Homo-oligomer: A and B are copies of this chain.
Amino acid sequence: MTIVSGIVGCVTDERLQDDGYVAYGVTVDLVILTIRAEQLCVLLVRRGLAPFAGALALPGGFVRLDETLVEAARRELAEETGLLLPEPPPQGSAWPGVHLEQLAAYGAIDRDPRARILTIAFLALAPDLPEPRSGTDAAAAEFVPVAALTGLGGLGGLAFDHAEILADGLERARAKLEYTALATAFCPAEFTVAELRRVYEIVWGAPLDARNFHRKVTGTPGFLEPVGHSTARDGGRPAALYRRGAAEILHPAMRRARAAGP
C-alpha cells in the first residue's frame, strides 16, 4: 500500500482521521450526444494509455482541486469538442444550444483496475458539431453512431463501466424528450417542425405521425417561437422556421410508443 508521490490532495484537518477518511480519485466522464447524418451519435475516444489501451471510451478526466464538477465537465467538453461554452448560468443546465446536466455517480469497487476511482457522469446534448479535435489524453475522438454499438448486443467493448454509463445516458435522454423541451438542444438555433420531429424519431427509434406532432408542438405554449420562412431544405413545401421557446417542461408530456399497448 503506497501513496503516489505526485499526489496533490490537501488534507490539513486531523479530525478527518477519526471519521474514516480515505482518498479517492475523482473523474468526470461525458456522454456527448449529437445527431449526424440521421443517426444518434456519441463522442468516443480511443484510449492511448493503459488500462484499456486501444479500447473505445467516453471522454473524461480527473477533476482538479480548483474546479467544481460542472466546471470539470465543461472543461472536458471544450477540450474534446472545441466547444467553448459561455459562463455557466445560475442553474448550470441551460447554455444556448448545448445542454449539460449531471447524470449519476459510479463507484463500483473495481471499475478502474489502477485504484479506487469514482466518476461523475455528465450528459451533454448538442447540435451537429464540427469534427472533434484530438484531446490531450485521447489518441482520437470521433462521433460513433449508437446503433453501431448496440448492434453488438449491449454496448460491448467500451472501457471501464462506460457501457453502463452510456446506457444510462441514452435512457435519460430518451426519457427527457418526453416531458421536457430538450429536443431543441439537438437542433441549430433556427429549425423547422420536421427537423424537430426527426430528432424525436432518431432518438426514440420510432416514427411519429407528422400531423399530430405538428399539432402538439405548435399547440404547446412556450415550446416554439416562430421566426420567418425557410427554403425547402427537403424539396417540398417550405416550412416555417422556429426558435426554441421559454418553456422547459412539457404539459402534458409527449408520448413514445408503448411496448405492448392495451
Q: How many copies does the complex hold?
A: 2
Known A-B contacts A3-B7, A10-B1, A24-B23; the reply to A65 vs B17 at CB < 8 A is no
Q: Which residue of B is nearest A114, CB measured?
A: B13
Q: Does A120 contact B (CB under 8 A)?
A: yes
Contact A116 B24 (CB under 8 A): no
Q: A107 vs B255: C-alpha distance in the bound complex, in angstroms?
A: 34
Smallest CB–CB gap between A223 and chain B, Å?
14
Q: A251 vs B104: C-alpha distance in the bound complex, in angstroms?
A: 25
Interface of A: prevailing SS: loop
Known A-B contacts A11-B114, A109-B66; the reply to A5 vs B17 at CB < 8 A is yes
Smallest CB–CB gap between A15 and chain B, Å?
6
Selected from B8, B14, B116, the residue in CB contact (under 8 A) with A22 is B8
Selected from B6, B26, B104, the residue in CB contact (under 8 A) with A26 is B26
Q: Does A237 contact B (CB under 8 A)?
A: no
Smallest CB–CB gap between A164 and chain B, Å?
12
Known A-B contacts A2-B11, A10-B116; the reply to A22 vs B62 at CB < 8 A is yes
